[in-house]
Amino acid sequence: SYSKDECRAVIENIFSKQRSDGWYPRQVPFGEGKNFDMREFVDSACFFTEFVYDYLAYTDDYSVLEKEYPYHDSDKLESGLVHLQRGMDYLIAPENTGEHGLVKMRGGDWLDCLNKAGILGRGETVMVSCQLTMCLSYLIEIQKKLHAPVLDAYISAKESLVAAINKNAYNSKGFYNAVFADSGNWLFSEKDEDGEERIYVPTNSYAIISGVAEGKEQGILEKIHDLRTDNGYKLFTKPLGEKYIGGIGKMGTGDFQPYFAENGSVYNHGSQCFLLRALAKVGAYSDFFDVLGFAMPLYADKHAPENVCGAPYAITNCYHLVPSFRGRSGFSFLTGSVAMIERAVYSWMFGFNFTLNEIVITPCLPEQFRDASAYLCFEGKKINLS
């Protein structure tokens, strides 16, 4: 279930805190609060655009896009649709497109610790580039629904991004590199600056989710399967920091303990939840069941209580792989994994999916749940799925 009023309030608040060039702060306060996160991370527009799309699909409330909102740095009022377009315009602008045709990383993308890889203005992020192709499709669909002009620039940008990602980021080992750093070196690639091969789950999952990796999915998933441990799937192959890599953030300097939190551990939100969405996209129901079991806290054969040291009902952010407390839960409750796992069950496993025009049922149901059923409420009706 969800609260339409609360969701709308979130959308209106974020529109009014957007910068007039289209960029969204990473975190914004409600009301008159002053605590903004103004670091130049570039992923906010993509996550937010998907949220707005889902809101429209669930509520049919397009008035949120007709209403006018100011900007964080300007009192000029423009419609929600224009605000939404500006978010995409910022990411596809020439000054925010790097030498490989990908989105410039600026202050970072989803992985907080890589906050230096693009700070000088050269670095590029493959994950946000994949997300952007998906969000451009959302925006085009919204424009068509509203009978608004669909700009050729959005169609062209999407096509160019897909081509650029596959030309420049798909490597000879059969997976996608994740980051092109200011240094001119690729990170999470077939050969990183320290000589290691690292596959990074979020970028490769989003390549599948967005459709960028069409025809390459099986090979990518086979590579990701190598990241499986007895505690779940690692975020990436091997921790960073054993050999110094400058200019990417604290992960490359040795200041971030190996196998702790994001640094090569089972980072639930990024490795397992994004992966679940990719597995559902291709219908890999057996692997879906395996990963869901690791993402959830309730299977003792996967997360022994004496190792987890946390509440058995608590969705966690990560399972550390540090030898001294291998398998211990980290940051329970304080995690996007909570919402992601709910989506994994209803939207990806049972397959309740909503577009602007219809309900689409796309189940990825493991054999173990063959007799399962679920329901949700939509427009005052209860929808049952068996």
Residue 191 confidence (pLDDT)? 97
Residue 266 confidence (pLDDT)? 96
Does the pLDDT at position 66 exceed 90? Answer: yes
Amino acid at 170: Y
Burial class (CB in 10 A: 0-12, 13-18, 19+), 268: buried
Can you list the alpha helix ranges (DSSP code H) found in 100-256? 126-145, 152-168, 201-209, 217-225
Do residues 85 and 139 touch, judged by C-beta distance below 8 A? yes
pTM to 2 decimal places: 0.96
- With left for phi above 0 and alpha for psi between -120 and 50, is residue 247 left, alpha or beta? left
Summarised one tens digit per residue, pLDDT across range 260-310 is 999 999 999 999 999 999 999 999 999 999 999 999 988 888 998 889 998
Does the pLDDT at position 115 exceed 80? Answer: yes
Provide mean pLDDT across the span 256-260: 93
Write out the two tokens for 56. Answer: 């429209």
Provide mean pLDDT across the span 102-122: 95
For 253, the 3-state DSSP assignment is: coil
Confidence of residue 1 (pLDDT cuts 50, 70, 90): low
Provide mean pLDDT across the span 74-92: 98
Rounded Cα gap, residues 310 and 307, in angstroms:
9
Residues, the chain: 386
For 153, the 3-state DSSP assignment is: helix
Which is it for the CA torsion 363, 177, 46, 329, positive or negative?
positive
Summarised one tens digit per residue, pLDDT across range 172-218 is 999 999 999 999 999 999 999 999 999 999 999 999 999 999 999 99
